[in-house]
């Protein structure tokens, strides 16, 4: 679609931006409009200029996102390199903007002697994405620590909401209003004297030993079903190494799908569907994708 952009933002807007440059799977067609705001004020001003019928999508590090080959209709707002304020508010509370990488939260909280925050090191995204899906790792979950959040709507209006206003479940968060997005969170931790960065390094070493770190993936592809693990079901179905085009189920960790360099989004989506169908046929369990799939399919 053709998106009208106010003249003052034209120099900073990119049209037809290839989304494969912004996702960890390195796939995805062009965004109609791609915008990386300098700060919250510019973000609010930009949102106020958009027509009410223009779809708006948000992206951080692109680690939990499959953009289809036909690209994204409307506007993509990137928080990468912006919305990056991280500061301590009190003895136990921390303020984090949506663009802050989760790994940075883990390292800084260790320096401040706060925990348990080490699990954030295992989340390959930003605070915004972690809030949107209640991301977790190593037994920890984002929303266990949320006190309140700040959001912004498509009219550029900001508001503060308490954690109790959100319905939160495993890898799922229900927003209290449509067209409203996270811009920050206040997190509560406990004092953890003697915390050391070696704890984060140990967790990351465990992660590296069991997951295909360094290869092109989105992290975990499927959520774990109740009382089981997606990786166990996929491996038991004999799908490790199964390949469609240049995408395959990782031989190191069955809940990861790898782009070996030339996969298309269609390859990856077809592989996701094949894994779902095979696991359901053999085990009677329908795996739910953890990854968000957006955009237009090509014919």
Q: Give the number of other Cβ atoms within 10 Å of residue 133's Cβ.
A: 21
d(CA 293, CA 273): 12
CATH of domain 86-191: 3.30.465.10
Kindly write down the DSSP assignment for every residue of 95-146, as one continuous string: EEETTSBHHHHHHHHHHHTEES-GGGGG--SBHHHHHHHT-EETTEEGGGSE
212-294 sits in which CATH class?
Answer: alpha beta
Question: Could you read off the pLDDT of 217-254 as tens digits, one per residue?
Answer: 999 999 999 999 999 999 999 999 999 999 999 999 99
Q: What pLDDT does residue 176 have? A: 92
pLDDT value at 203 more than 80: no
Of the ranges 43-52, 80-89, 185-194, which one carries the lowest mean pLDDT score?
A: 185-194
Average pLDDT, rounded, for the chain: 94
| Percent of the residues in the chain that have a pLDDT greater than 90, as a whole number | 87
All structural domains of the chain with their residue ranges: 7-78, 86-191, 212-294
Question: Is the per-residue pLDDT at 42 higher than 70?
Answer: yes
| Residue 184 falls in the annotated catalytic set | no
220 assigned to active site: yes
Which among 82, 74, 78, 93 is positioned nearest to 5, based on CA atoms?
A: 74
Residues in CB range of 21: below 8 A, 6 or more apart? none
Instruction: Please classify residue 193 by burial: count the beta carbons closer than 10 Å to its beta carbon, then call 0-12 exposed, 13-18 middle and 19+ buried.
Output: exposed
* Closest to 204 measured CA to CA, from 110, 134, 139, 118: 118
pLDDT at 196 over 70: no
Q: What average pLDDT does range 9-22 have in this prediction?
A: 96
pLDDT score of 200: 75
What pLDDT, on a 0 to 100 scale, did the predictor assign at position 245? 98
Q: Give the residue among 158, 44, 141 at the shortest CA–CA distance from 102.
A: 141
Residues 6+ apart with CB under 8 A from 31: 14, 16, 17, 19, 57, 71, 72, 75, 76
Q: 102-112 and 197-210 are packed helices; what angle lies between their axes, rounded to 10 degrees?
A: 150
Q: Which of 171, 217, 248, 269 is catalytic?
A: 171
Instruction: Compute the average pLDDT of residues 81-87.
Output: 95
Instruction: Output the pTM of the full model.
Output: 0.93
Which is the catalytic residue, given 63, 217, 220, 250? Answer: 220
Question: Which among 143, 184, 136 is positioned nearest to 166, based on CA atoms?
Answer: 143
| Over residues 65-82, mean pLDDT | 96
Q: In this structure, which CATH number among 3.30.60.50, 3.30.43.10, 2.60.120.10, 3.20.20.450 belongs to the domain 7-78?
A: 3.30.43.10
């Amino acid at each position: 679609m053709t998106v009208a952009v106010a003249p003052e933002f034209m120099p900073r807007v990119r049209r037809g931006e290839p989304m494969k440059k912004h996702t960890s799977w390195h796939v995805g067609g062009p965004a109609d409009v791609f915008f990386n705001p300098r700060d919250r004020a510019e973000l609010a001003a930009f949102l106020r200029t958009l027509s009410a019928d223009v779809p708006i999508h948000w992206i951080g590090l692109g680690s939990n996102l499959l953009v289809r080959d036909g690209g994204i209709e409307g506007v993509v707002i990137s928080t990468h390199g912006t919305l990056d304020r991280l500061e301590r508010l009190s003895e136990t509370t921390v303020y984090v903007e949506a663009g802050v990488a989760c790994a940075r939260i883990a390292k800084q909280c260790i320096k401040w002697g706060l925990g348990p925050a080490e699990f954030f090191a295992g989340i390959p995204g930003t605070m915004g994405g972690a809030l949107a899906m209640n991301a977790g790792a190593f037994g920890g979950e984002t929303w266990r620590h949320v006190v309140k959040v700040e959001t912004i709507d498509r009219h550029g209006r900001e508001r503060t909401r308490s954690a109790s206003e959100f319905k939160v479940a495993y890898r799922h968060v229900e927003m209290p209003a449509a067209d409203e997005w996270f811009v920050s969170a206040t997190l509560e931790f406990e004092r953890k004297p003697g915390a050391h960065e070696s704890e984060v390094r140990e967790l990351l070493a465990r992660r590296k030993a069991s997951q295909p770190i360094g290869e092109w993936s989105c992290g975990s592809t499927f959520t774990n079903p109740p009382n089981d693990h997606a990786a166990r079901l996929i491996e038991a179905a004999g799908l490790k190494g199964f390949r469609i085009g240049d995408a395959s189920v990782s031989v190191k960790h069955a809940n990861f799908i790898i782009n070996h360099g030339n996969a298309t989004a269609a390859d990856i989506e077809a592989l996701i569907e094949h894994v779902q169908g095979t696991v359901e046929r053999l085990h009677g369990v329908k795996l739910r994708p953890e990854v968000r799939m957006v955009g237009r399919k090509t014919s």
